[in-house]
Structure formats: C-alpha cells, structure tokens
Amino acid sequence: MTYSLTLRRPDDWHLHLRDGAMLRAVLPETARHFGRSIIMPNLMPPVVTGDDARAYRDRILAALPDGMTFTPLMTLYLTEGTDPNDLASAHAAGLITAVKLYPAGATTNSASGVRDIGNVRAVLERMAEIGLPLCIHGEVTRHNVDIFDREKVFLDTVLDPLRRDIPQLKVTLEHVTTSDGIDYVREASGDIAATITTHHLMINRNHILVGGIKPHYYCLPVAKRATHQEALRKAAISGNPRFFLGTDSAPHTDPNKESACGCAGCFTATNTMACLAHVFEEEGALDKLEGFASLFGPARYGLAPNDTTITLVKEDTPVTYPAKIETEDGPVTVFDPGHPLFWRVLDQ
Ligand code: NCD
Ligand code: ZN
C-alpha cells in the first residue's frame, strides 16, 4: 500500500549555498523541493553590505538551472563595523530578509563575527525600529565553556539580557539543539522563534561518537544528548508556530570533513523531506509536517506560503538517493541517517 501526502511547497529558513562551483552543485538539491531559503552569509569574505547581498543573490540566480524556480532570501553578516544606514536601505530596497549574528569564532567562517554584543547595540536598535529580524547562532565561544553547554550559557548570558535590553527586536534562535533552548523560545514573551534542523531531529551525540567517530554527523552547534533530541522532536511536531524548519544544510567536501580537523556541517539538502517525513511518521504526527516545513516560516517572515505543492509518497522498499553530490571542488557526502528511508518526493 502506498501512502501519499501533499504539502504546500516547503521553504528552508537556514541554508548554506557557498559560491562558485559548490553553489552550482548544491543549489539544485535545494531548489528541487524548496521554494525559498534564507541564505547564510558566511562566505569568505562574508556578505556584509547591501551591495554584497545583491551581488550574491545575482550569482545564486545565475547558478539556478533552467526550468527551476527558487527565491533566495538574503541575509547580511553582522560585524562590529556594520553600518546601520546601509543595512536599513538594503532592507527598504527588499534586498535582505534578515541579519545574521555569529559570535566571533563560533563556527565556519565566523572570524568576522561579533566579539562584544555591546558593540552592535546601535545596529540592533535600528533593526528593532524597522522590524528587520535577527537570526542568531546561539553559542558562546569562551574557551572555558564546555562545547555541550555553549547554547545554554548563551541563552542565559547573551540572549535573555539582549532581549530585555531591546524587547522589540525580532529574534530567530537558529538550529536550536537543547531542551533549554526549546523551553526558552516556547515560554519567552515577545517576538521570538527558533529553527530546527533535519539532522538534529535524527541524531544525538552518540551517533557522532559511539563505535568510531563519524565526521559527517559533526556540525555546530554539536548534537547533544538524546533527551535534548527528544525535546527537539516534540517541539517540531507540537504545531507551535514558533518552531519551524531551517535545515542548516552546510556542504563541505569529503577531504575537509574526513580530516584530522574536520569541518562542521551536515549536508541534508538532498534528502531532507524524506528524513522529515520519516521522523514525523515515527512521532505519529505526519499531519504536523506541513506547518513545520511550509507554513510557520513564511508566517514568521510576513510572507504568504508557496502557492505550489509537493507530494511525498511512502514506498514499500527503501528509497535511494545519491550517497554523494559531485562538485568541481570534490565530493560532498549526503546526510545518511543510518537507517533506510521510505518516503520520496514525487518528481513534478
Ligand atoms: C555551518 C557552515 O559550515 O557554514 N556549519 C555547521 O556546522 N552548521 C556554519 C553554521 O551554521 O554554524
Ligand atoms: Zn548554518
């Protein structure tokens, strides 16, 4: 028996597309199923000005294969030198959808990020005034804070004080990985939401470390213990519109992942919808998938849902998808949840 499920076309509210050959190789993987994505600005050098965002958007659109439609929603990379006027005019021109805060040193290409949040206060106040959302990589980077505690410490020492200081600021806590983060976002007053990745719904830290180290499960924020994974799954299926999909699909070539000092990032663009259908079915909540993947994100950003649909079908035998995407820079391994998947997105 085949089950099928038709959803509004989903969007991805946190995506890394990179540039050049990598962009050309990974963009179709997202555009095949997703209508829009919030595009992360952590290129080398980062996307910091309105002009940078326009140029990057044009490169993305130029890389889109004929016959595919996809809307990149651009972000600026917040630095301590960001000019509030440039940011406001990029917003007014419809060039950017959000601004991204990377604490300096938190993750891939974050060296130009913010060292002291006090140094970007004027920019954040301006953003609150004009209603421009801030997407936050919510981890402290102090070397004496344990990597598994960095999100919780960020909530207590940075995010909560910041939101008390500038209550009108619209905040998205990106790729939340802890029950602490879920509780904070669910209970906070004011304008806050969180994105949840595909992989954090499917793995916990045991998957990374038990039985040999699995570099393709290493990402930042790093997956936490199973109780946190459970809290993420419950939030994703809760129907609470504060929680929605941001895959954080982040391609790195295999040599960069399978290394003595491997890069952080899971590449999930190719099979995200198959993975999500699997998770939501396991949770007995397939009826909640459309809200999570297709409705709550647009609502949060003041946009209409996509007017097209995708159809997922459940097969009797495992579905296949490529183990790797070939790029001119080298192969990129597709996220493997470690068990078969049975859901497939119908070609349209
Ligand atoms: C991202 C990347 O590779 O750009 N890596 C990751 O592990 N998620 C950066 C990020 O979002 O932290
Ligand atoms: Zn990311």
**Model confidence pLDDT, tens digit, residues 213-223:** 999 999 999 99
pLDDT of 125-153, one tens digit each? 999 999 999 999 999 999 999 999 999 99
The one-character DSSP state at 202 is: H
The ligand whose atoms approach the alpha carbon of 139 most closely is 1
The span from the CA of 209 to the CA of 204, in Å, is 9
| Tokens read off for 100 | 């991204």
**Residue-level pLDDT at 253:** 98
Average pLDDT, the chain: 97
> How does DSSP classify residue 240?
-
pLDDT of residue 123: 97
How far apart, in whole angstroms, are the C-alpha atoms of residue 134 and residue 213?
Answer: 34
Q: Which of 19, 26, 218, 220 to mutate to test the pocket of ligand 1 (most atoms within 8 A of CB)?
A: 220
Q: What is the mean pLDDT of residues 158-165?
A: 97
Residue 1 has pLDDT above 80, yes or no: no
Is residue 194 within 8 A of residue 181, CB to CB? The reply is: yes
Domain spanning 4-345: which CATH class is it, in words? alpha beta
The average pLDDT across 52-63 equals 98
The rounded distance, in Å, linking the Cα atoms of 223 and 241 is 23
What pLDDT sits at residue 112?
85
- Interval 18-35: pLDDT, tens: 999 999 999 999 999 999
pLDDT of residue 2: 59
User: Could you tell me the pTM of the whole model?
Assistant: 0.98
| Euclidean distance between CA atoms 336 and 348, whole angstroms | 24
Q: What is the mean pLDDT of residues 61-72?
A: 98
Q: How far is the CA of 104 from the centre of ligand 1 (A)?
A: 13
